Amino acid sequence: MNLNHLTIHEASRLLRSRQISSVELARTALDCARRLEDKLHALVTLTEELALNQARKADFRLRNGDATPLTGVPAVLKDNICTRGILTTCSSRMLQNFVPPYDATVMERLNSHGMVLIGKGNMDEFAMGSSNEHSAFGPTRNPWDLDRVPGGSSGGPAASVAAGEALYALGSDTGGSIRQPAGFCSVVGLKPTYGRVSRYGLVAFASSLDQIGPLARDVTDAALIMNAIACHDPRDSTSVRRPTPDYTQSLIPEIRGLRLGVPREYFVEGMEEGVKQAIQAAISRLEELGAIVEEVSLPSTKYGLSAYYIIAPSEASANLARYDGVKYGFSVQDAENMWDALEKTRQYGFGMEVKRRIMLGTYALSAGYYDAYYLKAQKVRTLIRREFNQAFERFDALITPTSPTVPFKIGEKMEDPMQMYLSDVCTLPVNIAGIPGISIPAGFVNELPVGMQILAKPFAEEMLLRIAFAFEQATPWHKRKPPI
Ligand code: GLN
């Protein structure tokens, strides 16, 4: 039996019937990580000893019949999710020695299910990027082609799941950082509705956009993870007081009569022909399954990118002001005075992209510019949200590509931030509106993955899972494994 590519639900069945043990499963994952990490670099920290200890505990629970579907299943968490006693670096020099004194709520939740943590996933520094090349510790590579990027910023978590180092991962998504790498690595990535999953213990990038969500090998697994992590959390004032449904109830392969809109603005200029064809074929498949597909227009989409690159950097510039070398993190001691220390700490602690965002944000928020930039962007935000709301009066869901291209070559877009930013044109508006979105494997172009994005109205994750599940049942894409 090949344990490397089990889904959570398959593993859980084997674990509960005692055909395999959690220790065995953890060893397989750790061996895989040791074998691949030189090439892949999906992990910042490998938590080997912890994983084996947790696996032993999980085996004890499994023997006692005290297990949930996640008990004893190896996972990776993106390195911006706080884990008590375990390095949490955000792939930044600024936090390279930071060991949080507390767990993020999602970590607590997974722990209560008996998780086995294999390691912390590599990412673009502070989650700013779309390729993982902005990691201060070197890029993660795409398991489908090692010369290409895995996407970002949750590139490490996505690659680790695709390659077999973990059965699932949690990432964070501020403008596409779960969905775009999911698309690039051919796994399932779900960004929940803003407020559905607690952000407590997630190192903040842009607080009004950030959400934590699952990266998984199939849609059923994504539903199982959502069951575990979605909850109201009094420690996150933006988390909603709303009961968590049983997401596995939406796994019915039946979408006859559902109305799906295809927003024409998402087939942007510069989109690769192969991607377009793959998505069109996927849409035809949905039609064959009985969905009613119609084109729709969301004209404000074209302002999404500009609005995002005002709002996100503005919030980031405020959130990142805390890294002053005094309270925690990297600190330059060799300085003339306090201001000099502060300056040097930030100069050496932050990478190029993070500095670019801080500058963009402080500029947009500065007196005299606030109305022209930040306020204007907030107005655009309202427009975009309104357009989505109107679309959801007519449609049960919207279908788009996750990204306009297949995974690009390492180095290809590093010199041109604008090109890099454009890789998220299809995912950014979703965070701006706060709605949920999922990316699922939808085909290949020259052996490189293509992701399809499905969007629904706030708190309609169940609709996303239902459509995604029906599509998955009818297509072979999620079963393909990378050559690595
Ligand atoms: N690529 C986008 C950015 O760099 C989105 C990142 C994210 O979702 N964390 O801001």
Does 349 fall in a domain? no
- Measured between alpha carbons, how far is 158 from 26 in angstroms, rounded to an integer? 18
Q: Which residues are catalytic?
A: 78, 153, 177
Does 390 fall in a domain? no
Pocket flag, ligand 1, residue 127 (CB < 6 Å): yes
Does 118 fall in a domain? yes
CA distances in angstroms from 294 to 197, 283, 284, 358, listed in the order given: 31, 10, 11, 41
Q: What total of structural domains would you count in the chain?
A: 1
CATH (domain of 57): 3.90.1300.10
Pocket flag, ligand 1, residue 174 (CB < 6 Å): yes
| Three-state DSSP state, 58 | helix
Separation of CA 18 and ligand 1 centre (Å): 41
Tens digits of per-residue pLDDT, 361-406? 999 999 899 899 999 999 999 999 999 999 999 999 999 999 999 9
Does 454 fall in a domain? yes
Nearest to 172 by CA among 221, 106, 228, 111: 106
Does 392 fall in a domain? no
Does 364 fall in a domain? no
pTM of the model: 0.98
Residues of the chain predicted below pLDDT 50: none
Structure tokens at 197: 């999953």
Q: Which of 124, 357, 419, 431 to mutate to test the pocket of ligand 1 (most atoms within 8 A of CB)?
A: 124
**Looking at residue 7, what is its pLDDT?**
98
Atom number in ligand 1 closest to CA 209: 8
Structure tokens at 215: 């990266």
Does 21 fall in a domain? yes
Does 375 fall in a domain? no
Range of the domain at 168: 3-257+436-479
Tens digits of per-residue pLDDT, 429-479? 999 999 999 999 999 999 999 999 999 999 999 999 999 999 999 999 999
Contact at 8 Å (CB) between 3 and 165?
no
Q: Which of 153, 211, 402 to mutate to test the pocket of ligand 1 (most atoms within 8 A of CB)?
A: 153
